[in-house]
Amino acid sequence: MSLSREQMLVEMGITPIWVLRDTASEASPVVPEMAISEPVATASSTVEKPIPVATKPMAATPQASASHALINAMDWPALTKQVAECRACPLCQQRKQAVFGVGDENPDWLFIGEGPGADEDAQGEPFVGQAGKLLDSMLASLDIARGDRVYIANAVKCRPPGNRTPESAEMAACWPYLERQIALLKPKIIVLLGKAAVHAVLHDDKSLASLRGQRFEHAGIPVVVTYHPAYLLRNLPDKAKAWEDLLFARRTLREQATPELPF
């Protein structure tokens, strides 16, 4: 059964339904009272998990630089094969399979999460568990769907044991793959879901709260930041903020598609 966009917004926990506008007033959406029937988040679940990181990308070894250069020259099938066989970091030891990504290979949107969990490791597709359901609702609220103008990937391609946050070195080892995916996909906008994705792409370790609502860039592509769906499942009131972020992302995408004329 396919749900209407309104039903999807309800699913996201955002009711009454927000009216999507194409005008500048969308810039400061009025956040209505949210009707949230699920339990209120506990104090221990109100902050995103910290990532043990350095704030700059790790210095590459000569070997790493050489393989980075090789990866930079790969086409999509070669990259897919390389990722499936990757042994660049210890995460390969316990994975069932590497999870490359899923979706439209000519996308407008690229959503980047943290890393595969148990379900993703088993099925070989990102965001197929509970967080994935919420991500699908978030996509539906934008009138887009997995596989249609959207690609979904992760900061790391192999499941961190026990679903822990990937370490800085693991994200650094996986970055050349994600970087090449971005270069080949050429999305019009990148949405970073949570701190790990922010760390992987922007090499920034500030709080999400301080990064939301800003337009960053990677390789000339606009990048915006929002909360990870798994975090939103534990912190329901922040769904409204995520919705603001998605509207901001959509405006940014539209500005990108139709830049203002220089006169």
Measured CA to CA, the distance from residue 48 to residue 79 in angstroms comes to 31
Closest to ligand URA by CB, 74 vs 200, is: 200
N- to C-terminal Cα separation, the chain: 48
The three-point CA angle 252-107-176 to 5° equals: 95
Binding-residue total with ligand URA (CB under 6 A): 11
CB 150 → ligand URA: shortest distance, Å?
14
Closest to ligand URA by CB, 18 vs 103, is: 103
Q: Could you say which of 14, 71, 131, 190 contacts ligand URA (CB under 6 A)? A: 131
User: Does residue 127 touch ligand URA according to CB under 6 A?
Assistant: yes
In Å, the largest CA–CA distance within the chain is 57
Closest to ligand URA by CB, 18 vs 129, is: 129
- Closest listed residue to residue 127, CA positions, set 105, 153, 108: 153
Run of H or E including 41 = none
Amino acid present at 79: L
Q: Could you say which of 104, 108, 114, 244 contacts ligand URA (CB under 6 A)? A: 114
Closest to ligand URA by CB, 112 vs 172, is: 112
Piece of the chain touching ligand URA by CB under 6 A; list 36-44, 114-122, 167-175, 198-206 = 114-122
Helices (H) and strands (E) in the chain, counts: 10, 6
The three-point CA angle 168-222-52 to 5° equals: 15
User: Does residue 160 touch ligand URA according to CB under 6 A?
Assistant: no
Q: Could you say which of 82, 137, 141, 154 contacts ligand URA (CB under 6 A)? A: 154
CB 119 → ligand URA: shortest distance, Å?
7
User: Does residue 170 touch ligand URA according to CB under 6 A?
Assistant: no
Closest to ligand URA by CB, 117 vs 176, is: 117
Closest to ligand URA by CB, 18 vs 238, is: 238
* Burial of 80 per CB tally in 10 Å (0-12, 13-18, 19+): middle
CA atoms within 13 A on the CB side of 61: 6
Question: In angstroms, what CA-CA distances link 182 with 35, 74, 79, 113, 196?
Answer: 37, 12, 12, 14, 17
User: Does residue 103 touch ligand URA according to CB under 6 A?
Assistant: no
The mark string for 221-240 relative to ligand URA (x by CB under 6 A, - otherwise) is ---------x----------
Run of H or E including 225 = strand 221-226
Q: Could you say which of 13, 101, 107, 126 contacts ligand URA (CB under 6 A)? A: 126
User: Does residue 115 touch ligand URA according to CB under 6 A?
Assistant: yes
Cβ atoms of 94 and 102 within 8 Å: the answer is no
* Residues binding ligand URA (CB under 6 A): 113-117, 120, 126-127, 131, 154, 230
